[in-house]
Amino acid sequence: MTPPVAPDQAALGLSDMLAEKPLCGGCGAKVGPGVLNAGLCQLPLPSRADVISGPGDDAAVLEIGGLRQVLTTDHLRAVTDDPAAMVRIAILHAMGDIWSMGAEPQAALLSLILSRQSEPLQARVMEEILTTAQAVLQAEGAALVGGHTTMGSEMTIGVTLTGLCGQKVITQDGGKAGDRLILTRPLGSGIILAAEMQGAARGRDVAALLDVMQAPQGRAAAILRGAATAMTDVTGFGFAGHLGAMAKGAGLSALIYLENLPIFAGVQDLVRAGHGSALAKSNRAAAPVAGLAEGDWRSAVLHDPQTAGGLLAAIPAQKAQEILAALAKEGIEAWEVGEFEAGPEGGMAVRA
């Protein structure tokens, strides 16, 4: 893909941005973690008694009639021109926030930006999106209750979701020293999607990735929440970014089992060829990992933004093998990828 040429009059810094990698789709299009955290730090704590938590976790926690409800919102630039596949990915991506909080999906609103097109095409695309969305939500016990539509330069799908979890909420910051870290999905989706934008990814690798991204994780979440002390979903800030947030919240360090990390097929070759997401640089700056050998290609994977990524759960050491066995019995792949330990708050290192 040839980078666009900056106009004669443009915002400060635009030329530098256009000289870098093209803007990615999916979670690779997020605002960087440093910029986002600087903005969130200026927000006051919630003043309402029924708003239990503010920004920072995967979803907000509300208390309504003695029940705990979680609330999240997300939107994705399209990573595929297939509207049905894209809405399926967007909904399951947003559901990751609900599942990681230990909740069951409840209700959804869709916010759709369709590329500009004739009214007959609009109607066909809308029917395809809504039919697929309804099926995906119903399969997970949730309802589609409304939304909003506009037209723009490209397809973007947003999802706002609520979930119910009774009184027990699983947050990012409950991990304990010695807990094992279990991950339910391979890494490297951002690298493949970035390469696919430039026609450099193998078709079979892209197809395999899209299949994984469209697979629900409700059964995995149900197994994990029975033992998890903390949980998150690995998305835009990469494995290291989300793990670092868990470790910081718990006042611990994290040891990463580098050799155990699951990685999508084709990623190693793409990294060595120089492919990667536009967001990876910001992710790396925000979540450094110690102990990596100079030039280790897996550094790129640790900071790669994921779309519809896996669940990452902290499980007490004595229960980890039991949980892995329960996942395997259901045909769900999962990997033990690290552990929490006493050490500098939020620190991360790879196991030698």
- The residues annotated with a catalytic role in the active site are 27
| Long-range Cβ pairs for the range 15-24 (8 Å, 24+) | 20/278, 21/194, 21/276, 21/277, 21/278, 22/194, 22/197, 22/198, 22/278, 23/77, 23/278, 24/77, 24/190, 24/193, 24/194, 24/197, 24/277, 24/278, 24/279, 24/305
Of 234, 237, 103, the closest CA to residue 170 belongs to: 103
* 3-state SS, residue 36: helix
- Strands of 348-350's sheet, edge to edge? 230-233, 311-315, 180-183, 335-341, 253-256, 348-350
Say if residues 282 and 32 touch (Cβ distance below 8 Å). yes
Say if residues 200 and 314 touch (Cβ distance below 8 Å). no
Say if residues 189 and 271 touch (Cβ distance below 8 Å). no
Say if residues 345 and 248 touch (Cβ distance below 8 Å). yes
- Say how far apart CA 313 and CA 175 lie, in whole Å: 9
